Structure 1
């Protein structure tokens, strides 16, 4: 993995199309419900829970969508690299570059809930190497740093 790499973050229709292509390339179907959940997640500015997404999709569809269904689809999105999970918040963020595989580093604001996604594969590569030396087989590295974002840190 490269230490630092540049992404072209996608949005709107380009993001939806990239997500659909990535999911279908893995042999999965891009269903109406999966598209609804992806679009609801993509519309959020902060990490969102399955309940938050279920509410958004329920309102858009005019009928209740069960959070359990949303959880299953969000788990598929995480496994397919279409979304990432902010572990400490039990919430999800859409991956703005679904074709790129890398470990996740999140800077999580404890005041406003914002999560900033940072890419530094050199840091996580060191952790993976340490794990491998002990005989551990890492599958996913997630680092979360809790604190205050620039907006909250400078607020009176």
Structure 2
């Protein structure tokens, strides 16, 4: 999905957004939170907490709860999304701009693309409202093959 893509630009943009959001909310964007966000954005696949822990190595002497707290902070502030089916995290391309997220997950290369489809979100909200259900979070995950993997 992101063939020949420059991830450093994604990382830089994500860190800038995080700094802005933390400043606006008077929150601390610690070095560990920054590093976890950078690691999540190193590629467009989903990052598992234990893989992040391994990548952090001895630099932060982090333990699993430390990484999970950093991920929870990033999640709560709209900087990452959790892909429930993979129990993993991806960077948010549009922090705090929307609540309804749709993801295309390639089962071959394991990259994840975030989709913004207001009409789909509205249809889902309307359907849910008719049932009397009050959602707190919406995530739609679609698994298949991206264009590059289909081409072979």
Runs of 4+ in structure 1 deviating by more than 6 angstroms, as ranges, are: none
User: Residue 101 of structure 1: CA displacement?
Assistant: 2.1
CA contact (8 A) 1:55 1:65 kept: no
Matched, 1:127 2:127: no
Which residue among 139, 145, 148 is the counterpart of 2:145? 148
Count of aligned pairs between the two proteins: 144
CA contact (8 A) 1:102 1:121 kept: no
User: Residue 99 of structure 1: CA displacement?
Assistant: 4.2
Matched, 1:87 2:90: no
TM-score when normalising by structure 2:
0.83
CA contact (8 A) 1:16 1:39 kept: yes
For structure 2, which runs of at least 5 residues remain unmatched after alignment? 1-8
Q: Which SS does the other structure have where 1:34 is aligned?
A: helix
Q: 1:27 to 1:132 in 2, by over 3 A?
A: farther
Map 1:5-154 to 2 at 5 A.
11-58=10-57, 61=59, 64-154=61-151
CA contact (8 A) 2:104 2:142 kept: yes
Q: 1:149 to 1:13 in 2, by over 3 A?
A: closer
CA contact (8 A) 1:108 1:146 kept: yes
Structure 1 vs Structure 2 CA RMSD: 1.9
For structure 1, which runs of at least 5 residues remain unmatched after alignment? 1-9
TM-score when normalising by structure 1:
0.81
Q: Which SS does the other structure have where 1:88 is aligned?
A: coil
